[in-house]
Amino acid sequence: MLDVNKIRADFPILQEEAYPGIPLVYLDSAASSQKPLPVIEVMNQYYRRINANVHRGIHRLSEEATNAYEGARERITRFINAADSAEVIYVRNATEAFNLVAYSWGRANLRPGDEILITAMEHHANIVPWQIMAEQTGAVLRHLPFLPNGTLDLDPLPQLLTEKTKLFSFTAVSNVFGTVNPVRQLVDAAHQVGALAMVDAAQAVPHMPVDVQAWNCDFLAFSGHKMCGPTGIGILYGKRHILEAMPPFMGGGDMIRRVTLEGSTWADLPHKFEAGTPSIAEGIGLGTAVDYLTNLGMANVHAYEQYITNYALEALSEIDGLHILGPSAAQRGGVAAFTILGLHPHDIAELLDKDGIAIRAGHHCAMPLHHLCGVNSSARASFYIHTTTEEVDQLVTSLNRAKKIFRL
């Protein structure tokens, strides 16, 4: 079991007060995680000691910056067990990763009548790019439904995955239900009909061991800011032979081998997809976030989150009128989205904020999911390595107080 008090000491913001005399209770890690001191310090040191552009300089600062930036890529490669760092592309976030695949792979490979399959529980980042691509290419976008308990309905999968399917793109862990999906089973099903498989791992990589080779996925996307890293940096993983066949996503400096007025040739992977000056400090910060989580042990992280999530679900279920979206604790990650009869989620979040508790309210970039659940929005508490049972107890107390305020 993780030493949560020791971990909390690593996060400066957790020592802050939300308001004078009111401690901060941060339960919004699914939106963006807080940053431990090593990540903050390594980025500070980059700007203080080795700030320079990478790859193109011969001077010491540029070489040190390049070594730190590319060293981070190597550690990220090991963290997800990719076969080669050339398969690990720096992007701004998971959203950009989906758009990169949609515009680069999609435009080159999708034809009228081809099909793309997603699920009905996806984040908008794994819906909208495929809608755009379907409209532009004449492909058809289909979706796999979910059951009332928030797990995928796998019965229609054989009818939805056909020889027309070119890509099956799905989330490993729902950002609303928290559902942990059977990734390898879904990847295998896609491959059986000759389709590629892309995994949204934004809610998986921060919380559990992820092995892209064991999953055998063709693409995988995640964001740094949800896993103790900075904003503005994320990763697209892709199998090397697929990435090599794809055209560049953007053009400019650093992604070229040679440029003439008549034409250009492209740099080798991964740089072919990394045009322009990159987010250097952010890449270095993400590498340090990976180090931090590696030192904790991802199996330990996952075990603790299962413990705290189970504790939270049991406590929340005692509140009259509160309905939790999604499956049991055994099938979910550290997310609890809920509604309370008679209370709007925004009112819930505002009242909790007065008690120093930070949660999320809204559709969580998953409007189709909420529509299918018959609600416009939900409140969402999400848990991470620093969440304590005392904080969960505070959440329950504040929710009961909110009900009393509204005389429910």
Query: Which residues are catalytic, by number?
Result: 365
**Gap between the Cα atoms of 102 and 97, Å rounded:** 9
* Contact present, 165 and 134 (Cβ < 8 Å): no
DSSP code of 93? S
Angle at 231 between CA 227 and CA 235, to 5 degrees: 65
Backbone angles phi, psi at 211, to 5 degrees: -130, 105
Tokens of 256: 């070229």
Residue 46: CB atoms within 10 A of its CB come to 21
Backbone angles phi, psi at 97, to 5 degrees: -60, -45
Which amino acid would we find at residue 44?
N
**Gap between the Cα atoms of 278 and 232, Å rounded:** 10
Which amino acid would we find at residue 371?
H
Contacts 24+ apart (CB under 8 A), 50-59: 53/277, 53/280, 54/278, 54/280, 55/254, 55/271, 56/254
Q: What is the CA radius of gyration of the chain?
A: 22
